Amino acid sequence: MKVIFVNRYVSPDQSATSRMITSIASALAQRGYEVVAVASRHLHNEDQTVLPPNEVISGIKVVRLTTSHFGRLKTFGRAIDYFFFHLSAFTWLVRHASRDDIAVVCTDPPFLSVTTAVALRLRGASSVNWVMDLFPETAIELGLFKRSPIVGRLARSLRNWSIGTSAAIACPTTTMADYLRDELSPRCPISLLRQWSDGKEIYPIAAADNELRTEWGLDDKLVIGYSGNFGRAHEFDTILNAAALLRDQPDIRFLMIGNGHQHARVVDAAKKLGLDNMIFKPLQPAENLAKSLCAADVHLVSLLPQLEHCIIPSKFYGILAAGRPTIFIGDLNGEVARVIDAYGCGKNIAIGEGQRLAAAIRELRDDTARRLEMGQIARRVLTNDYSYDQAIDKWCALLDRLDRSGDRVPHIEQRVSP
């Protein structure tokens, strides 16, 4: 059996999603599967880098397709990039996929399930749709189809048809899985395969041993971190409000690492508000990831409540691995909020409650013992419930079941825990 991963970005040193795909693919290769990854020749946030058309990463044969590269910041240019990746991926699968193959189809770019469904049907291969983000629901909730709701409904119908042809559908959260069960035929095989983080790649580093804190002038500070994508799905006004309320606290700093659609707006707002307590840094290379995440004493994760069924903030699992508490800003009954409540590895704040966020930060500053205890709990949660080894075992079990059945996999019921 050959397993083919299809996603626009496959690289161990890029976004959390890209690293997750690479880690699963490399683990399967180490366990004896023949693994091919089909991706683009570009990196997630580097406009100038062009990768070789073929390479081997951790036992994975990576095939990189030539596409346009206008970048992620302009909507029209991104749409052109999407189109050419769809076209190239379709062509490659029609030429190279075979009847015994299983293609793990990811969700970057949107509608990849539609393109691959046609190509894989032509070749008689099977697919597992790994649904990390739901499109077009995300765009609909953000108002991008407000002027053309019919297009949004058509897009959802196409998506439902395409993933409905899968041998299996992998969802990272119970909220997303329940939503898709309502959307699709009851016969559609939906599996709950939670996201994770590699505890060997990201691990706790004490503040005193972290040279990045010294390099960035953060020694003797309580550092409140945000790390990752500044995307449309995230909310930053609550964070800016809290930072403004805490601007006169000389021992508190906000460390904002990453980039994305809202990054320029957040930087501009911080300048206008005179928030000298807010420090911005670019995304860090993979070899610095543990140090980068551990440069913060507490991390912030935000998600717009209307997107709870569409998106899972992957950064949360890296924070667990780093052994740091999380303050979640969003739906108090959401997926991340439920984990935090169940285990006590952080705090939850509703969007717009900047004063409560500032108060929570002061509380964690003043109670060092409690803050450290939350971090220890976070690491235990990762080890017990969201570990790399557990994720690999579940993926192998799913693929082996598909290989034995040669057709659709029966619905997998799993105990739903926080």
Concatenated DSSP letters for 255-314?
EEEEESTTHHHHHHHHHHTT-TTEEEEPPPPGGGHHHHHHT-SEEEEE--GGGTTTB--T
Taking only Cα atoms into account, the Rg of the chain, rounded to an integer number of angstroms, comes to 21
162 and 211 belong to one structural domain: no
Q: Is the pLDDT of residue 406 over 80?
A: no
341 and 281 belong to one structural domain: yes
265-299, pLDDT tens digit by residue? 999 999 999 999 999 999 888 788 999 999 999 99
Q: How confident is the model at residue 33 (pLDDT cuts 50, 70, 90)?
A: very high
Give the residue-averaged pLDDT of 130-154: 90
Q: Is the pLDDT of residue 15 over 80?
A: no
Residue 42 lies in a domain: yes
Helices in 273-418 by DSSP H: which ranges?
A: 289-294, 315-322, 335-343, 354-366, 368-385, 388-405
Residue 333 lies in a domain: yes
145 and 40 belong to one structural domain: yes
145-178, pLDDT tens digit by residue? 888 889 989 999 999 999 999 999 999 999 999 9
Four-residue CA torsion sign, 353, 357, 362, 367: positive
Among the listed ranges 145-154, 220-229, 315-324, 404-413, which one has the minimum average pLDDT value? 404-413
158 and 269 belong to one structural domain: no
pLDDT for the residue numbered 286: 79
pLDDT for the residue numbered 78: 79
Q: How confident is the model at residue 407 (pLDDT cuts 50, 70, 90)?
A: low
Residue 11 lies in a domain: yes
Residue located via tokens 């904002």? 256
Residue 230 lies in a domain: yes
236 and 325 belong to one structural domain: yes
pLDDT for the residue numbered 83: 93
* CATH code assigned at 316: 3.40.50.2000
216-270, pLDDT tens digit by residue? 999 999 999 999 999 999 999 999 999 999 999 999 999 999 998 899 999 999 9
Nearest 10 degrees: Cα torsion 126, 132, 133, 134: 40
14 and 79 belong to one structural domain: yes
Structure tokens at 244: 């403004």
Q: How confident is the model at residue 413 (pLDDT cuts 50, 70, 90)?
A: very low
Among the listed ranges 14-23, 111-120, 287-296, which one has the minimum average pLDDT value? 14-23
Whether pTM > 0.85 for this model: the answer is: yes
pLDDT for the residue numbered 370: 97
Give the residue-averaged pLDDT of 326-344: 96
243 and 172 belong to one structural domain: no
105 and 153 belong to one structural domain: yes
Compute the mean pLDDT over every residue in the chain, rounded to the nearest whole number: 90
Cα 330 to Cα 316: distance, rounded to the nearest angstrom: 13
Among the listed ranges 98-112, 240-254, 358-372, which one has the minimum average pLDDT value? 98-112
Cα 310 to Cα 327: distance, rounded to the nearest angstrom: 20
Domain of residue 302, residue span: 207-385
Residue 202 lies in a domain: no
pLDDT for the residue numbered 45: 61
173 and 226 belong to one structural domain: no
Structure tokens at 305: 């409540």
For the chain, how many structural domains are there in total? 2
Residue located via tokens 């559908």? 169
Q: Is the pLDDT of residue 371 over 60?
A: yes
187 and 321 belong to one structural domain: no
Q: Is the pLDDT of residue 418 over 50?
A: no
Residue 393 lies in a domain: yes
Q: Is the pLDDT of residue 86 over 90?
A: yes
92 and 28 belong to one structural domain: yes
Residue 306 lies in a domain: yes
Please tell me whether the peptide bond between 136 and the residue prior to it is cis, using omega within 30 degrees of 0.
yes
Four-residue CA torsion sign, 55, 18, 408, 412: positive
Q: Is the pLDDT of residue 417 over 70?
A: no
Residue 398 lies in a domain: yes
Give the residue-averaged pLDDT of 337-366: 97
8 Å CB contact between 218 and 294: no
173 and 246 belong to one structural domain: no
pLDDT for the residue numbered 44: 66
Residue type, 28: L
Give the residue-averaged pLDDT of 309-319: 92
CB burial string 108-119: b at 16+ within 10 A, e below: bbbbbbbbbbeb
62-72, pLDDT tens digit by residue? 999 988 877 66
Q: How confident is the model at residue 73 (pLDDT cuts 50, 70, 90)?
A: low
DSSP code of 207?
G
